Amino acid sequence: MHWDLILWLISLISNIVLLVLLIYQLICLSDLEADYMNPYETAANINSLILPEFGLQAAFCALFLVTGHFFMFLVTLPVAIYHARLFARGEHLVDVTEIFRALSVEKKHRLIKLGLYLLFFFLVIFRLVIAIYNSLADEEEALHGFWVF
């Protein structure tokens, strides 16, 4: 069995889920800004997705540490540390009463995370293509020069 291929498929799926969760949060914030949703509904929708996002990001980061892909671990570690810091300080949930005041900051933080998740997505796609090629190629044709990622 090609475990490296399975690792990158799991990484791709978890990265896609992270992107979907974050895009949904951005849509909720944009709907609030355009006055399509009320603050209570927006805060409830976003707060219900925060802990699953944090847990999946931590699992995504830990997966690379456990499997020995240290470059990808170091790339995903800052977001995991940021999430842990937010959770430890109790700043991870969106407050209904403060949501209009913090709307631009919340959108900015999520857009930065979106950029980072897209970077992770392209790195995972790159490694997935290499893993597929290595699983289909002979041992002497396999690409072993990309072990850094």
| Cα torsion angle, 129, 132, 137, 141, sign | positive
How many other β-carbons are positioned within 10 Å of the β-carbon of residue 99? 18
Residue 128 covered by a domain: yes
Q: What is the pLDDT of residues 36-75, one digit of tens each?
A: 889 999 999 999 999 999 999 999 999 999 998 999 999 9
Residue 144 covered by a domain: no
Find out whether 73 and 64 touch, Cβ atoms under 8 Å: yes
Residue 21 covered by a domain: yes
Q: How many domains does the chain have?
A: 1
> How far apart (Å, rounded) are the C-alpha atoms in residues 51 and 54?
5
Q: What is the pLDDT of residues 78-105, one digit of tens each?
A: 999 999 999 999 888 988 888 888 899 9
Q: Which structural domain, as residue segments, surrounds residue 54?
A: 3-136
Residue 149 covered by a domain: no
Query: How high is the mean pLDDT of the chain?
Result: 89
pLDDT grade for 136, boundaries at 50, 70 and 90: confident
Question: What is the per-residue pLDDT for 139?
Answer: 65
| Cα torsion angle, 41, 21, 74, 116, sign | negative
Smallest Cα–Cα separation from 87: which of 53, 59, 42? 53
Residue 147 covered by a domain: no
**CA dist 37 to 20, 23, 29, Å?**
19, 16, 9
Tokens 């707060």 belong to which residue? 47
Q: What is the pLDDT of residues 66-76, one digit of tens each?
A: 998 999 999 99
Residue 40 covered by a domain: yes
Residue 142 covered by a domain: no
Residue 148 covered by a domain: no
What predicted TM-score, i.e. pTM, was given to this entire model?
0.88
